[in-house]
Chains A and B, each alone.
Chain A
Amino acid sequence: QSALTQPPSASGSPGQSVTISCTGTSSDVGGYNYVSWFQQHPGKAPKLIIYEVTTRPSGVPDRFSGSKSGNTASLTVSGLQAEDEADYYCCSYAGSSSYVFGTGTKVTVL
């Protein structure tokens, strides 16, 4: 039940892209295609932006995309906008109805 590893920070100018990695193990990220990503603005609840590795919920812009290779998942935010400045967390199903979250990445729009 160790947290998934994410870089503490990432940044980009408006219009640019940023990619956030999320590294786990074969017991979580590598073992299931149930990686999700959440966006959290200060003082707010997390919001689901990607589930099942690559799927965007209705209403989430297609600027957000997800992928996975082995034990590492990634979130790419293309065409950065000011409102994308937030904390981002990955999450993986880890078996027996449990989940493990990533350490979180603060995205700054320069």
Chain B
Amino acid sequence: EVHLVESGGTLVQPGGSLRLSCAASGFTFSSHSITWVRQAPGKGLEWVANIKQDENERYYVDSVKGRFTISRDNAKNSVYLQMNSLRAEDTAVYYCARDYFFYIDVWGKGTTVTVSS
């Protein structure tokens, strides 16, 4: 069974940094792009970033460019989201999800990031 588990979410002060992790299992991890999607409290879903299978291509929504970095370790079946210069508007549940060739199919349960002083 395909499984994605996020971790690393916590309370952080504005301007701070945080690294989220996503551990995958149940599929050939190195064959799939992985995506991060976030959902602010009471709001809709927002695509955040995507990393291709071999890590050579990474894409970001404009609002996080220059602040967030997505990376992966295929040997550990893991994806990471390094978040710097965090703002209150980055407060959200962050989901990692498998990219199944032009659509997102399986999601993790999410990890909560709260940016507040």
Contacts and interface: CB of A to CB of B under 8 A. Distances in A.
A45 B50 contact: no
Interface stretch (A13-21, A69-77, A78-86, A90-98): A90-98
Nearest to B60: A98
Given A99-B35, A103-B44, A1 B105 contact: no
B108 interface: yes
Given A52-B103, A91-B103, A102 B109 contact: no
Contact of B47 (A38, A52, A99, A104): A99
Contact of A104 (B37, B45, B102): B45
Interface string A39-56: 000000111100110000
A61 interface: no
Contacts of B62: 1
Contact of B103 (A36, A45, A101, A102): A36
Contacts of A32: 102
Contacts, number: 63
A98 B45 contact: no
Interface of B: 33, 35, 37, 44-47, 50, 52, 57, 59, 61-62, 95, 99-100, 102-110
**Closest 5 pairs between A and B when the two form their complex, measured CB to CB:** A34-B102, A99-B47, A104-B44, A101-B45, A45-B107
Given A36-B104, A91-B47, A97-B59, 19 more contacts: A1-B62, A3-B44, A32-B102, A38-B45, A45-B108, A46-B95, A48-B104, A52-B102, A89-B44, A93-B102, A93-B103, A96-B59, A97-B52, A98-B47, A98-B50, A98-B59, A99-B35, A101-B45, A102-B44
19 contacts: A45-B95, A46-B95, A47-B107, A48-B106, A51-B105, A52-B103, A91-B47, A91-B103, A91-B104, A93-B103, A97-B50, A97-B52, A97-B59, A98-B50, A98-B59, A99-B47, A99-B50, A101-B46, A102-B44
